């Protein structure tokens, strides 16, 4: 477990919910082949009978490629997450967000080997060491595929006014229903009167 677990709090799951036993994509593809609705659901995850996941040498099951901030009338601010060097570089970068603007986060990722169930994005935002925001966005369940998945989060509005301006630190995490943390990292942003 990470030293930042206290920031995120205990893992939350629905009362009475228990994650099912792990199965490979091939095992899932062959299960209940005669059930049409189940077949369609599995195909929505990228699992097809007789199909195989993309052959990759990357041992990671879920590879987070990037997270980006999208705001109308501006180019996306993209934060690469696909290598340890890219994540390390975030310690020295600060994103600027104009106060009061509407924006949304979006994430791109790949699933390499097995179905991932209940993939979630969590973050905790602090200012001067005090927690000011916490997010818990469900991404869903995905099967292995050579394609890149993209998930857009709901629109948010940046805080507004002189008191909102300043420096914020963020701890972010991608975790699934099994409690596997696929990526955790820190980054920061400043809320300013204008874009830079």
pLDDT in tens, 65-84: 999 999 999 999 999 999 99
In DSSP terms, which residues pair with 150 in a beta bridge?
108
Residue 11 pLDDT more than 70?
no
Global pTM value: 0.75
Scan for tokens 């189940």, then name that residue.
Answer: 38
Q: Specify the higher pLDDT residue, 100 or 15.
A: 100
* Average pLDDT of span 192-196: 89
pLDDT in tens, 166-183: 999 999 999 999 999 999
Residue 116 pLDDT more than 60?
yes
Q: What is the dihedral of CA 138, 142, 147, 151, to 10 degrees?
A: -10
Predicted pLDDT of residue 33:
62
Domains, the chain, ordered by start: 23-52 (no CATH), 56-192 (2.70.50.30)
């Amino acid at each position: 477990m990470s030293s930042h677990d206290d920031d995120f709090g205990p893992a939350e799951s629905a009362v009475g919910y228990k994650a099912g036993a792990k199965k490979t994509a091939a095992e899932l593809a062959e299960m209940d082949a005669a059930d049409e609705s189940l077949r369609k659901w599995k195909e929505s995850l990228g699992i097809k009978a007789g199909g195989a996941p993309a052959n990759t040498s990357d041992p990671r099951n879920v590879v987070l490629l990037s997270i980006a901030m999208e705001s109308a009338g501006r180019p996306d601010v993209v934060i690469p997450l696909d290598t340890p060097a890219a994540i390390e570089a975030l310690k020295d970068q600060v994103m600027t967000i104009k106060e009061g603007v509407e924006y949304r986060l979006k994430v791109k990722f790949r699933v390499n080997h097995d179905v991932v169930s209940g993939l979630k994005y969590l973050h905790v935002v602090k200012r001067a060491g005090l927690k000011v925001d916490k997010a818990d966005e469900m991404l869903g369940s995905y099967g292995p595929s050579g394609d890149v998945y993209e998930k857009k989060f709901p629109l948010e509005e940046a805080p507004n006014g002189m008191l909102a301006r300043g420096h914020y630190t963020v701890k972010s995490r991608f975790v699934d229903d099994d409690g596997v943390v696929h990526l955790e990292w820190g980054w920061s942003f400043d809320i300013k009167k204008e874009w830079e």
